[in-house]
């Protein structure tokens, strides 16, 4: 059948099971949009391409299916860069499709031309520019395969306008053959045996679980492992929800803003089982003194992660879920003992907490209230900053894919468009974006998208009039020289109203519950402006460059 | 038409990425690219073989010039120059055929650099044509592995391509 | 004097004469912000998204002629700059972009907020640096400003790891640069200049095609003199607009895809095309084989790579446009070309720029009214889309450097932050933003910056409830199959303005326009004006893809 490139693209998307794409039109993607006109694919029109990339990312994290975003050449493509980098750092499967100027105009600095494959080389798992319509179907198939397998990540496909407009007789592209890309899924027997032996020998094991647990769907295996070994589990920010937050073996998050008991447990462990985590600098603190006495088992799909930052005594390369299923039969149940008692002691001694104040609204209090009002069942997206850490501490995540946050890149402005993507993927669930007043402004334009599609996203702004996290650093490490961190803000309630959304301002603890209930009941987007204590800090904290054991606050 | 460019660049990290990125984004075709340091440790030299007509060559030269780290570009193709490429080829070889292979090596003045039970590894230098011919001659024996360096080239006689050289082709 | 690299950086910026930095703080850039605060010598404009900061720095540079300076943190801070850097690169705007980076020991480990920004920006910077050696910082800054502002200007990025920023060095700022790979040519080759002069004197139907290079090199006076000496009509690219007086009888307006018919006809029929600081972009030439088919071409440009890139040139002159024109002018004499000018006048009368002033408020009428009430003297920033073309067609700029628009990259969302930079750079000028409802939404967070900095900009939204330009393309190329271009929801811009503490107006009719404009334009503070314009209006004329520029259609 004669089809043009755009129709082949749409057919390829349908073959991949894509039902939703997030995008913004423009000259170079016109043929693709025209093909979408007839297609059974939902297109969500955002208000800035950054919103499209983050929404596709949020959609992927919530659903487990690859997110797809679409933008035009030039500024459309460059506007995706932050969102692509974000997906790359957090291993989110995403396919970004960009229009490009016609092949004949390539390399001539043409109108709205940007070398987006060159630009995104450092932030994509792979990228393509399709120079011949005959290659399009196979390229798209490969793009989805690469994005979703191994360590997932974003793949960009750049399509010149003459290619999307060019015609050919369409035929199925056939099987994929990528000799340079063969992800290893199963752990090696030898390594598994070594790991099992080390686990059996250990007295003070700690499981350190990252986003890989969620990515591979290994949360049940992780729970079985922990319960079998009676081993406490700490998660990274990306791993939140990978282990039930209300489980007695749970230690909360570790690292710079981890719980004291998680960090102490890691410091004193004799065995650290790293599961789908990558020893990020925000997790390890000073590397030399990270888990100094522990044998380290590192299970990861990406061989390059092993020994990248920290020694790994027993590396096991493979898909976390498959590897855990291989490992579990080799292990015997252990009983609770002195180690567990010590941890319980730490938990009692150093609980995560804050000082309540009747006159002031505390951000921690707000998050706790959101937790209660949603009975822990909401999908929580966050922006980046203090509120992100509070959302990690004071909301208890009991299921995977319920905490959606920018971990590796730390992109302010991620949360709101991501929440839109989450709501699109989970139309019947309660979705919150926990935001700061700085972050929410970064992609505030997406309120029009939320209203346009009547997506009932609740935006909870922790409004302290500062770029709070940066201010906290300036307070602690720069003698309170607050350089360029105080903000003049819009009236968020009025702003919501300008968008035809609802706005609610909360200044007192007593109003929290009714306001949240009203927001949850509302069938459209709601902006909640929580006017919080201005100089509240995120504690405890490991100062940069220090060991996990040396926490302040 | 093929052109051989001698390109002097600052020996800075990332300079190869700058040059490679430029070729890719402007759609120029590189036939081969060889790079290494020069008599001056601050300066590296690339020998780039480009495919294209005069208009493309002009654009390649001008666009390369825009890179701050590119010091000098000479198209040496129209001049008298020496060019060499090194190839290492591992050939399947039963003891019975070893003699034949060594004869081929002799003809091309290639050297044997490794001898295995069933393989023989040869190195050969020469210009493009010679290397191609050498490769073709060995093909019937079964090439197991082959690696070429890409061409390097230098002007003959009193003509130079150097930072302050006598030949100014820019 | 011993100081930290961060302090040395600020000191170097002071020595480069930097008065303002646009930026957004974050972890990796904190040492530099701390030094900025401590030293207190340079004003910092806090944006609300790094994209806002870089567009503002870009516009600041366009109105002042100084190098724009922008600062952001590592990771997302840096990637959020990418569009703005690409925008400055395409429009040859001198910028120095300073980004924080994770400590050197963490570079390449996928650390928190780490991205390879020098890798990412390779294709869109004139040059970039990752500073690994503290002692090299002063030289890098010196080089960066030199490279950004000389030759064909462009953005230069400096990536500074946090540990390097806190090292101590002895600051010794170099007086001069030594870059053996970078030596721009300013003076045109005398033989070529003479050849060009001869061609100009011989030509019977010359047209001057002037681009942004005129403004960059400050050659507006020379351009005017040349045009009057030769009696040659002048057409501008979008980037070149305001380089030639909009009310001058020799002015043809803009050429190209949405150019005037008379400009496009003049170019098509001319026997000599004098291209000055312009680059034969595809939006200008359309089908190259029928672009100025009978003309000899003289091309003056600072960038040798532009010459012969898209069209064949008969007399190439590499050099600074102003210096070349100064060398050229003594070689030509006044020449009368009444026949050619008469022909042009006929075309102007036959194909005037216009629109039907009936029914709903017309966007063109809004622009004409603004032009009238500002006497063509305002600094006008635009976004990208139909409104941008209407500004190009209907605002007659009297003085150079007054149009601030994204030409090469065509970045929607450029406008609002650009007005921030323009007003900061020209605090006493009237700064007007003419934008569309799609574009404004892209970077509207910068309204907070406008308020914080008390910038009295005047924002006119030509609100047609759609992505008008793409919609227009769909009308002509996709048989009116409109998808993703008609907003089913547009925010209430007046209430939005109020949420930021800005006064808002709505204009629905031609009569309101003239009644309200004086009040709006004389308001001492920022104002948002929501102009509800005819959503059916198209940009006309238009050259369809692949057609010669003389084949424009009416839309």
pLDDT digits (tens, 9 = 90+) for C457-485: 999 999 999 999 999 999 999 999 999 99
Encode pLDDT of A285-339 as tens digits. 999 999 999 999 999 999 999 999 999 999 999 999 999 999 999 999 999 899 9
Query: Same domain for A492 and A416?
Result: yes
Predicted local distance difference test score (pLDDT) of residue C144: 98
Where in the sequence is the domain holding B28, given as residue range(s)? 2-79
Integer-rounded Cα radius of gyration of chain C: 24
Subunits adjacent to chain A (3 or more Cβ pairs under 8 Å) = B, C
**Residue range C237-273, pLDDT digits in tens:** 999 999 999 999 999 999 999 999 999 999 999 999 9
- Which chain A residues are within 8 Å of B26, Cβ to Cβ? 107
The burial class, CB within 10 Å (0-12 / 13-18 / 19+), for B114 is exposed
Q: A478 contacts in C (CB within 8 Å)? A: 30, 34
- From the number of C-beta atoms within 10 Å of its C-beta (0-12, 13-18, 19+), residue A111 rates as buried
What is the spatial distance between Cα A111 and Cα B95, in angstroms, rounded to a whole number? 64
Question: How far is Cα A100 from Cα A318, in angstroms, rounded to an integer?
Answer: 37
| Tens of pLDDT, residues C359-368 | 899 999 999 9
- Structural domains of chain B, count: 2
Query: Residue C358's pLDDT is what?
Result: 84
A118 and B25: CB-CB below 8 Å? yes
Whether residue A420 is contained in a domain is answered as yes
By C-alpha distance, which of A152, A154, A18 is closest to A86? Answer: A154
Which helix (DSSP H) or strand (DSSP E) does residue B123 occupy?
strand B119-126
For residues B22 and B87, membership in a common domain is answered with no
What is the mean predicted confidence (pLDDT) over C127-131? 97
- For C401-423, how does the pLDDT look when each residue is reduced to its tens digit (9 = 90+)? 999 999 999 999 999 999 999 99
Q: Are residues A506 and A449 in the same domain?
A: yes
With an 8 Å Cβ cutoff, the interface of chain B facing chain C consists of 9-10, 13-14, 17-18, 21, 25, 55, 58-59, 62-63, 65-72, 163
* DSSP at C331: G
pLDDT at B169: 44
Task: Say how far apart CA C114 and CA A409 lie, in whole Å.
Answer: 7
At C553 the three-state DSSP class reads: strand
**CATH number where A108 lies:** 3.40.50.970
According to CATH, the superfamily of the domain at C2-170 is Thiamin diphosphate (ThDP)-binding fold, Pyr/PP domains (3.40.50.970)
SS3 B85: strand
Instruction: Give the residue ranges of chain A where pLDDT is below 70.
Output: none
* Interatomic CA distance for residues A253 and A538, integer angstroms: 13
| C-alpha–C-alpha distance, residues C441 and B111, integer Å | 69
C89 Cα to chain A: minimum distance (Å)? 10
A78 touches chain C (CB under 8 A): yes
Give pLDDT, residue B165: 58
C-beta atoms of A30 and C478 within 8 A: yes
* Residue A540: cis peptide before it, omega within 30 degrees of 0: yes
pLDDT at A67: 98
CA distance B141 to chain A (A): 26
- Which structural domain range is residue A343 located in? 189-349
| Block residue for tokens 């974000």 | A86
Buried (b) or exposed (e) across A55-92, using 16+ Cβ within 10 A?
bbbbbbbbbbbbbbbbbbbbbbbbbbbbbbbbbbbbbb
Find the CATH number of the domain harbouring B110.
3.30.70.1150
Cα angle A520, A526, A531; round to 5: 100
Same domain, A369 and A342: no
Does a structural domain hold residue A355? no
**Neighbour count for residue C112 (Cβ, 10 Å):** 23
* B25 to chain C: closest CA residue: C123
Chains with 3+ CB–CB pairs under 8 A to B are A, C
In whole angstroms, what is the distance from residue A125 CA to residue A127 CA?
Answer: 7
Answer yes or no: do A300 and A372 share one domain.
Answer: no
**Predicted ipTM?**
0.96
Record the tokens describing residue C477, joined without a space.
Answer: 């190329």
Q: Give A424 to chain B, closest Cα distance, Å.
A: 36
CATH domain C190-350 topology: Rossmann fold (3.40.50)
Asked whether the CA dihedral C272, C274, C280, C286 is positive or negative, the reply is negative
- Positive or negative torsion for Cα A82, A45, A71, A130: positive
Stretch 95-154 of chain A: residues touching chain B, C-beta under 8 Å? 106-107, 115, 117-118
280-319 in A: which are within 8 Å (CB) of C? 280-282, 308-309
Q: Please choose, from the candidates C207, C216, C217, C240, the residue with its C-alpha nearest in 3D space to the C-alpha of residue C325.
A: C217
User: Does one domain contain both B89 and B55?
Assistant: no
Residue % of chain A over a pLDDT of 70: 100
Per DSSP, the residues of A423-489 read HHH-TTS-EEEEEEHHHHHHTGGGHHHHHHTT--PEEEEEE-SB-HHHHHHHHHHSTT---S-B---
Share of chain C above pLDDT 90, in %: 97
Q: For residue A307, what is the domain's CATH number? A: 3.40.50.1220
Give yes or no for A270 touching B (CB within 8 A): no
Mutual angle of helices C82-90 and A81-89, in 10-degree steps:
140
- Does A47 contact chain C (CB < 8 Å)? yes
Buried/exposed C21-41: b ≥16 CB within 10 Å, e otherwise: bbbbbbbbbbbbbbbbbbeee
A94-106 core/surface letters (b: 16 or more CB in 10 A; e: else):
bbbbbbbbbbebb
Within-domain flag for B170 = no
Q: 3-state class of C426 per DSSP? A: coil
Tens-digit pLDDT profile for residues B6-62? 999 999 989 999 999 999 999 899 999 999 999 999 999 999 999 999 889 999 999
Say yes or no to pLDDT of B170 above 70: no
Q: Are residues B61 and B17 in the same domain?
A: yes
User: Is the predicted pLDDT of residue B168 greater than 80, yes or no?
Assistant: no
Rounded to whole angstroms, what are the CA distances from C33 to A473, C22, C159? 12, 12, 15
Mutate to test the interface with C, among B10, B52, B56, B68 (most CBs of C within 10 A): B68
**Residue of B13, B62, B165 to mutate for C, most C C-beta atoms under 10 A:** B62
Q: Which of C118, C127, C308 sits opposite B55 (nearest CB)?
A: C308
Rg of chain A over all Cα atoms, to the nearest angstrom: 24
Residue B117 placed within a domain: yes
Instruction: Say if residue C255 is preceded by a cis peptide, omega within 30 of 0.
Output: no
Task: With respect to residue A539, please indicate whether it lies within any of the assigned structural domains.
Answer: no
The pLDDT, as a whole number, for residue B163 is 85
Give span(s): CATH 3.40.50.970, chain C: 2-170, 363-532
Q: Are residues A157 and A222 in the same domain?
A: no
| Class of C363-532 in CATH | alpha beta
Which of A120, A136, A169 delimits the end of a domain? A169
Considering only the C-alpha atoms of chain C, give the largest distance between any 2 of them, rounded to a whole number of Å: 72
Tokens 């067609």 identify what position? C393
């Amino acid at each position: 059948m004669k089809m043009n490139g755009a129709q082949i693209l749409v057919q390829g998307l349908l073959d991949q099971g894509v039902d939703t794409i997030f995008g913004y039109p423009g000259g170079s993607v016109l043929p693709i949009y025209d093909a979408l006109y007839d297609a059974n694919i939902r297109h969500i029109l955002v208000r800035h391409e950054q919103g499209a990339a983050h929404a596709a990312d949020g959609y992927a994290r919530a659903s487990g299916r690859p997110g797809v975003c679409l933008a035009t050449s030039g500024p459309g493509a460059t506007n995706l860069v932050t969102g692509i980098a974000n997906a790359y750092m957090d291993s989110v499967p995403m396919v970004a499709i960009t229009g490009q100027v016609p092949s004949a105009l390539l390399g001539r600095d043409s109108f709205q031309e940007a070398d987006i494959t060159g630009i995104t080389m450092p932030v994509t798992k792979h990228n393509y520019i399709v120079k011949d319509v005959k290659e399009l179907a196979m390229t798209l198939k490969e793009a989805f395969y690469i994005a979703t397998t191994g360590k997932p990540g974003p793949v960009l496909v750049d399509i010149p306008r003459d290619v999307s407009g060019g015609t050919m007789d369409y035929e199925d592209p056939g099987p994929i053959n990528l000799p340079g890309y063969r992800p290893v899924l199963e752990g090696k027997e030898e390594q598994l045996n070594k790991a099992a032996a080390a686990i059996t020998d250990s007295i003070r094991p700690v499981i350190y679980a990252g986003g890989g647990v969620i990515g591979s769907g290994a949360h049940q295996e992780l729970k079985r492992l922990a319960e079998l070994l009676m081993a406490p589990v700490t998660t990274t920010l990306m791993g939140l929800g990978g282990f039930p937050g209300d489980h007695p073996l749970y230690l909360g998050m570790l690292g710079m803003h981890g719980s004291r008991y998680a960090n102490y447990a890691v410091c004193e462990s004799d065995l650290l089982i790293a599961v789908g985590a990558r020893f990020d600098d925000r997790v390890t603190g000073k590397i030399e003194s990270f888990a100094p006495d522990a044998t380290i088992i590192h299970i990861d799909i990406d061989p390059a992660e092993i020994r990248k930052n920290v020694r790994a005594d027993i590396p096991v390369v493979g898909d976390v879920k498959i590897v855990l299923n291989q490992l579990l039969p080799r292990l015997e149940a252990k009983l609770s003992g002195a180690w567990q008692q010590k941890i319980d002691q730490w938990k009692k001694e150093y609980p995560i907490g804050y000082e309540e104040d009747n006159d002031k609204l505390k951000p921690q209090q707000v998050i706790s209230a959101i937790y209660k009002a949603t009975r822990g069942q909401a999908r929580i997206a966050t922006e980046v900053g203090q509120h992100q850490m509070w959302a990690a501490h004071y909301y208890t995540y009991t299921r995977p894919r319920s905490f959606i946050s920018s971990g590796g890149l730390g992109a302010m402005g991620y949360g709101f468009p991501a929440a839109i993507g989450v709501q699109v993927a989970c139309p019947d669930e309660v979705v919150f974006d926990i935001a700061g007043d700085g972050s929410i402004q970064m992609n505030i334009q997406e309120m029009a998208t939320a209203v346009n599609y009547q997506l009932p996203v609740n935006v909870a702004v922790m409004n302290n009039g500062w770029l709070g996290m940066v201010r906290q650093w300036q307070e602690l490490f720069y003698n309170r020289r607050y350089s360029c961190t105080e903000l003049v803000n819009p009236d968020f309630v009025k702003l919501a109203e300008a968008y035809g959304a609802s706005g609610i301002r909360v200044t007192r603890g007593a109003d929290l519950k009714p306001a949240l209930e009203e927001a949850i009941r509302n069938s459209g987007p709601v902006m909640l402006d929580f006017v919080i204590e201005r100089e509240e800090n995120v504690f405890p904290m490991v100062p940069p460059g220090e060991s996990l054991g040396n926490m302040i606050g | 038409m093929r052109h051989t460019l001698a390109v002097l660049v600052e020996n800075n990290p990332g300079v190869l990425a700058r040059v490679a990125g430029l070729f890719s984004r402007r759609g120029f075709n590189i036939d081969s690219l060889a790079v290494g340091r020069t008599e001056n440790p601050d300066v590296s030299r690339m020998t780039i073989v480009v495919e294209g007509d005069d208009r493309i060559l002009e654009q390649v030269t001008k666009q390369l010039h825009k890179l701050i780290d590119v010091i000098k570009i000479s198209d040496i193709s129209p001049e008298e120059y020496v060019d060499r490429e090194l190839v290492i080829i591992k050939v399947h070889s039963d003891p019975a055929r070893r003699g034949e292979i060594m004869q081929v090596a002799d003809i091309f003045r290639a050297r044997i650099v490794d001898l295995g039970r069933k393989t023989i590894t040869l190195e050969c230098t020469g210009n493009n044509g010679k290397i191609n011919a050498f490769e073709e001659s060995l093909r019937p024996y079964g090439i197991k592995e082959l690696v070429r360096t890409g061409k390097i080239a230098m002007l003959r006689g009193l003509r130079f391509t150097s930072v302050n050289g006598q030949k100014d082709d820019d | 004097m011993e100081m930290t690299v961060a302090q040395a950086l600020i000191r170097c910026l002071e020595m480069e004469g930097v008065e303002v930095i646009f930026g957004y703080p974050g972890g990796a850039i904190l040492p530099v912000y701390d030094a900025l605060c401590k030293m207190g010598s340079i004003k910092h404009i806090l944006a609300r998204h790094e994209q806002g900061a870089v567009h503002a720095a870009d516009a600041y540079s366009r109105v002042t002629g100084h190098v724009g300076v922008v600062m952001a943190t590592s990771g997302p801070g840096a990637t959020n700059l990418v569009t703005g850097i690409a925008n400055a690169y395409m429009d040859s705007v001198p910028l120095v972009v300073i980004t924080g980076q994770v400590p050197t020991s963490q570079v390449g480990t996928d650390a928190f907020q780490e991205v390879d920004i020098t890798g990412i920006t390779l294709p869109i910077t004139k040059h970039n640096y990752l500073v690994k050696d503290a002692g090299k910082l002063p030289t890098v800054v010196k080089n960066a400003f030199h490279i950004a502002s000389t030759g064909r200007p462009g953005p230069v990025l400096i990536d500074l790891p946090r540990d390097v920023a806190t090292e101590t060095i002895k600051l010794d700022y170099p007086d001069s640069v030594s870059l053996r790979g970078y030596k721009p040519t300013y003076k045109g080759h005398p033989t070529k200049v003479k050849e060009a002069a001869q061609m100009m004197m011989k030509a019977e139907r010359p047209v001057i095609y002037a681009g942004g290079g005129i403004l960059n090199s400050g050659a507006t006076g020379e351009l005017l003199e040349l045009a009057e000496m030769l009696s040659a009509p002048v057409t501008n690219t979008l980037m070149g607009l305001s380089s030639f007086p909009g009310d001058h009888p020799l002015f043809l307006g803009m050429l190209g895809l949405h150019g005037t018919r008379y400009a496009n006809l003049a170019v098509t029929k001319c026997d000599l095309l004098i291209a000055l600081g312009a680059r034969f972009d595809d939006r200008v030439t359309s089908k190259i084989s029928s672009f100025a088919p009978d003309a000899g071409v003289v091309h003056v440009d600072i960038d040798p790579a532009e010459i012969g890139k898209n069209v064949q040139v008969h007399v190439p002159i590499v050099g600074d446009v102003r210096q070349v024109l100064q060398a050229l002018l003594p070689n030509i004499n006044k020449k009368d070309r009444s026949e050619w000018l008469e022909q042009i006048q006929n075309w102007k009368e036959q194909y005037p720029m216009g629109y039907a002033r009936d029914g709903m408020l017309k966007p063109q009428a809004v622009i004409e009214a603004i032009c009238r009430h500002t006497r063509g003297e305002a600094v006008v920033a635009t976004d990208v889309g139909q409104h941008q073309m209407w500004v190009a067609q209907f605002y007659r700029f009297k003085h150079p450097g007054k149009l601030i628009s994204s030409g090469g990259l065509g970045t929607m969302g450029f406008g609002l932050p650009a007005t921030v930079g323009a007003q900061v750079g020209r605090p006493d000028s009237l700064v007007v933003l003419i934008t569309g409802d799609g574009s404004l939404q892209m970077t509207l967070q910068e309204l907070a910056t406008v308020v914080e900095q008390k910038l009295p900009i005047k924002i006119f939204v030509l609100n047609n409830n759609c992505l008008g330009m793409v919609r227009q393309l769909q009308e002509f190329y996709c048989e009116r199959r409109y998808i993703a271009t008609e907003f089913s929801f547009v925010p209430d811009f007046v209430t939005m303005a109020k949420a930021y503490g800005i006064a808002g107006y709505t204009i629905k009719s031609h009569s309101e326009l003239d009644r309200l404009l004086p009040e709006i334009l004389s308001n001492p503070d920022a104002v948002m004006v929501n102009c509800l314009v005819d959503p059916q209006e198209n940009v006309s004329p238009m050259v369809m893809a692949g057609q010669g520029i003389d084949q424009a259609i009416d839309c």
